[in-house]
Structure 1
Amino acid sequence: MSAIAGHLLVVDDDEDVLLSARLLLKRQVKTLSCLSHATGLPEFLAHHSVDVVLLDMNFTLGDNSGRDGFEWLSYLQTHHPQIVVVVMTAYAGIELAVRAIKAGAADFVIKPWSNEKLINTVECAFSLALSRASNQEPEENYSVKLSSVHHSSQPTTSACFIGETASMRELLRKLSLCAPTEANVLILGENGSGKELLAREIHARSKRANHIFMAIDMGAIPENLFEAELFGCKKGAFTGANENRIGKFVAANGGTLFLDEIANLALHLQVKLLRVLEQRQVTPVGDEKPIELNVRIIAATNASYGQLTDERQFRQDLLYRLNTVELNLPPLRERKDDIPLLADHFLHFYAQKYQRQKPLLSHKALAALQAYSWPGNVRALNHAIERALILGDKDILQADDFSLSSVTKNPQSDSAQNNSLNLEILERNAVELALKKHAGNISQAARELGLTRMALYRRMEKHDL
């Protein structure tokens, strides 16, 4: 994919967090810097131009109040008001994130983060930074726009709903009918097809549009913290519970809760989720008093319908609770007639973004785009168009400008590597296979390899994956 033209600065005192962010985002942005001490911000910003800052909220050991984060947020707003600030906080720090939004942060990211959510957040932040530089939006509207309608400046948002094929017309018809209701929605679709964007569109068209939209990567939640992070906990309920904390469900009250990759949830945890959905209330860990819920549920998964209907993998009573309305996002390879419309949309957007004349596509280029299988779906097409426009200096883009055909591999070389007993080669092959099997889902790949997410990230960096 093409890198975003801009400078991203990640500020966190946890070296593992900085490593994860660097591995994930180094290909997403042109310039990426990391600081392990927030006290270095003034000097760094005195010598570098920065567009977006990812700012942790806690830098003092044992202090989870967010005091440090608010001080540095205030500093950035006072001395560098053009910088877009996105705060980072742990699951237990939802209250801090909401307060930070009110204090001027553009958005927030929950740690451990969903890779797709973090990338989308960063892309939105850079679009907002571009808008600020161009004075396209009134200052007071920034945080509201980015937080509540997170996709408003992204081409992929409207692009997810561009199309004239029968499958897309049917999707849009169902979307217009179900969005204004309170019905739970289950979204099925491959990675990159736009499941979260579709969920946000449903929220934006609902009666809850002015309330919070909260996304959760269900595969990233540690099983032993599932209840505490989703339902909340009382101080002293378990070791490490040093304060009362609200859960995700309560934090999303009045709005929409998006349960991404719901099929990653273990069976014994599915029972607990089902109980909450049935009773419409949660009881924080260590408490006896239930809290009433008023939240709409939208769930999504890249699992096949066959996997969802296999009771050994997914509880059928939970499935019935979630799929009051079921929306299927077709993969791009099944809607190739929409590719000319999508390509034109992306070309128009990026021509404006990079202040260039909109190039045309040659017949061969368009044929190549339509012949490609697009394993990354609409997101991959978006990135391919952006890369071609940045690197191409012609009025007409040719097929070669898109680099769609990867280097042909030598079957004998592959066979030799597969038969090798070299531990480095075996480790690389195992990581590659796990990532391919789970379509790049870090949580699932790490689980299958018997690694933590951080250990998998380190091996990905080691083998340049």
Structure 2
Amino acid sequence: MNRAQTRSILLVDDDRSMRESLVELMEADGWRVEAVARAERVADRLGAFQPDVILSDVRMPGMSGLDLLAGLVPGISPPLVLISAHGDIPMAVKAMQDGAYSFVEKPYEPRRLLTILRHAADQHHMRQSNERLKARLLRLSGLDRVLLGEAAEIRALREDILDLAESDAPVLIAGETGTGKELVARALHDLSEHSDGPFLALNCAALSPESFAAEMFGGMDGQGGRLLSVDGGTLFLDEVCSCPLEVQAKLLRVIEDKQILPGDGSAPVPVAFRVVSATNEDPEQAVAEGRLRQDLLFRINTMMLNLPTLRQRRDDLVLLLTHFTEELGRVHEAAPPPLGQDDIAALMAHDWPGNVRELRNVAERRVLAARRGGGSVAQALRTDPLQDDVPDTLREAVAAFERELIGKAIKAHEGRMDAVAEALGIGRRTLNEKIVKLALDKEALL
């Protein structure tokens, strides 16, 4: 156990031999220990030593252990365990009612005493961690709000984004599925001088060579293409390694020439936009396999950002889950469930192949289970439902669920669509498409 994980205890007993015996016991169990002979000294030591638990005798000259208990601040001060050779049942009951964590009689059984103190210290440590998380979440804003986390990898990523946002150089974002590539692309756009311009996200895997020219450059009917609409903004090429080769050649020409040839034969139209691309695979391997043009890769990877996996930033798991459960609790109109030791253990034991997106889905299942009065993180991680739980009309059930969820998110965020998209964990473009597909009336919801 390292120093950051070591439990700490403040011992209070006027009997020198008892103090020394308790110090020896606690240090042998790996605790950091400080001992004082009088309860009057506790107030001075709390701030400097910051113990996880206080163990105090009851009967002492001057301030007694019960007096000490009365002076502690519930919910803020460390838990107090009282120990006495003169205790009785009424005294123990009264002490527990007044806020003591436990009452132990002398002579004590060492193993039982250690168990009580460990539980008290762990409870205090968890309460402090939860309070720090809440305070940190309240302070988050801007890029910290978009890319939540305190791990070294995520802090370095935020610094890189701030640096690259000032440049027009093409950026290639590499990362596993669910690591937040579109969020990073939007952050690069929002923090750049192009933030007042449009952000156009193209799913390259879904682009059709047959319809690409008409859709992107404009058709014979004079209808303007989508690439004209991104002039002055940012073009986001998602899943660029899955782009059809015929389409890659046309995209490369636009990027190199900075102009579009409309399908109606009219004069070329100049366009200016920043190119940000993303891939969940090794682009060099895609080039070697003939799936990605090398000249296109040279054009889009002037700068590269490698997004960390959730496995690389496990210290952020509790922070992220707390954030998601609070956010989704507002969406689903449910109190966010508290995190227990078993929940944290389940978080740490999982490999998170789906990264932050998977964690958000787990948080949503946890909130929905809590709304029904049960559930745990371990249960939320079990993603294989029983066949009997699948409705007969699955498509309709999914549509109804999405309609309800998006509607509640629109209400919760008062129609601020960027906030709605972020709360739901989807891109703004995807949100707009779902609103149209589900025939949602935003104005009627507000």
TM-score scaled by length of structure 2: 0.51
Superposition deviation, residue 381 in structure 1: 0.9
Contact 2:215 2:226 in 1 (8 A): yes
Query: Residue type matched to 1:181 in 2?
Result: S
CA distance in 1, matches of 2:200, 2:385: 41
Taking the aligned partners of 1:387 and 1:407, their CA distance within structure 2 comes to 12
Q: 1:265 to 1:344 in 2, by over 3 A?
A: same
Task: Give the whole-Å Cα distance in 1 for the aligned partners of 2:312 and 2:186.
Answer: 23
String of CA shifts for 1:83-107, please: whole Å, max 9, x gaps: xxxxxxxxxxxxxxxxxxxxxxxxx
1:183 partner letter = A
Q: CA deviation digits over 1:126-163, x for unaligned, max 9?
A: xxxxxxxxxxxxxxxxxxxxxxxxxxxxx9x9666112
Deviation at 1:180, TM superposition (A): 2.5
Choose which of 343, 351, 357 in structure 2 pairs with 1:373: 351
Spell out the pairing of 1:408-447 with structure 2 (5 A cutoff).
none
Equivalent position SS for 1:245? coil
Instruction: Map 1:175-190 to 2 at 5 A.
Output: 175-190=161-176
**For residue 316 of structure 1, what is the amino acid of its counterpart?**
Q
Residues 359, 311 of structure 1: alpha-carbon distance in 2 compared, 3 angstrom cutoff: closer
Task: State the match for 2:382 in structure 1.
Answer: 404
CA contact (8 A) 2:238 2:279 kept: yes
TM-superposed deviation, 1:345: 1.0
Q: In the alignment, what sits opposite 1:111? A: none
Q: Which residue of 2 aligns with 1:115?
A: none
Report the Cα distance in structure 2 between the residues aligned to 1:400 and 1:277, rounded to whole angstroms.
48
Aligned counterpart, 1:199:
185
2:296 alignment partner AA: L
Q: Following the alignment from structure 2 to structure 1, what is the Cα–Cα distance between the partners of residues 371 and 289? A: 54
Partner in structure 1 of residue 311 of structure 2: 333
Alignment of 1:196-235 (within 5 A): 196-233=182-219, 235=220
Aligned to 2:157: 171
Mark the CA change 1:350 to 1:262 in structure 2 (over 3 Å): closer, same or farther.
Answer: same
User: Which residue of structure 2 aligns with residue 279 of structure 1?
Assistant: 257
Distance 1:337 1:245, change over 3 A: same
Contact 2:283/2:292 (<8 A) preserved = no
* Deviation at residue 167 of structure 1 after TM alignment: 2.1
CA apart distance, 1:190: 2.1
| Separation of aligned partners in 2, 1:311 and 1:282 | 30
Cross-structure match for 2:294: 316
Give distance in 2, aligned partners of 1:252 and 1:194.
Answer: 22
C-alpha distance in 1 between matches for 2:359 and 2:277 = 25
Partner SS state of residue 215, structure 1: strand
Q: List per-residue Cα deviations over 1:96-125 (Å, max 9, x = no partner).
A: xxxxxxxxxxxxxxxxxxxxxxxxxxxxxx
Identify the match of residue 237 of structure 2 among 249, 252, 259: 259
Preserved CA contact (<8 Å) 1:184 1:324: yes
Structure 1 254/407 Cα, relative in aligned 2: closer, same or farther at 3 Å? closer
> Could you tell me how far apart the structure 2 residues matched to 1:305 and 1:166 are?
25
Q: Which has the larger radius of gyration?
A: 2
Distance 2:238 2:250 in 1: 17
1:162 corresponds to which of 133, 148, 158:
148
> Match of 1:392, SS?
helix
Q: Which residue in 1 is equivalent to 2:28?
A: none
Deviation at 1:286, TM superposition (A): 4.1
The alignment's TM-score, normalised by the length of structure 1, stands at 0.49
1:245 is matched with which residue? 223
**8 Å CA contact 2:175, 2:309 repeated in 1:** yes
SS in 2 for 1:299: strand
Q: Is the 8 A contact 2:325 2:364 kept in 1?
A: yes
Structure 2 vs 1, CA of residues 272 and 397 (structure 1 numbering), >3 Å: closer, same or farther? Answer: same
Contact kept in structure 1, 2:208 and 2:247, CA below 8 Å: no
Flag the 1:294–1:306 CA change in 2: closer, same or farther, 3 A: closer
Shift of the alpha carbon at 1:200?
Answer: 1.1
Aligned residues: 246
Secondary structure at 2:155 match in 1: helix
The superposition leaves residues 242-295 of structure 1 with CA deviations (integer Å, 9 ceiling, x where unpaired) of x11211211111111111111112233322221211111111224151110111
Structure 2 residue identity aligned to 1:263: C
Matches within 5 A, 1:388-403: 388-392=366-370, 398-403=376-381
How far apart in 2 are the matches of 1:339 and 1:401?
17
1:355 is displaced (CA, Å) by: 4.0
Q: Kindly state the Cα deviation for residue 376 of structure 1 after the two structures are TM-superposed.
A: 2.0
CA–CA separation in structure 2 for the residues paired with 1:206 and 1:159: 17
Where relative contact order (Cα < 8 A, 6+ residues apart) is larger, the structure is 1
Which residue identity is paired with 1:281?
Q
RMSD of aligned alpha carbons: 2.7
Cα contact 2:237–2:278 (8 A) shared by 1: yes
1:304 Cα deviation after fit? 2.0
Q: What percentage of aligned pairs have identical amino acids? A: 37
Q: Which residue of 328, 331, 345 maps to 1:353?
A: 331
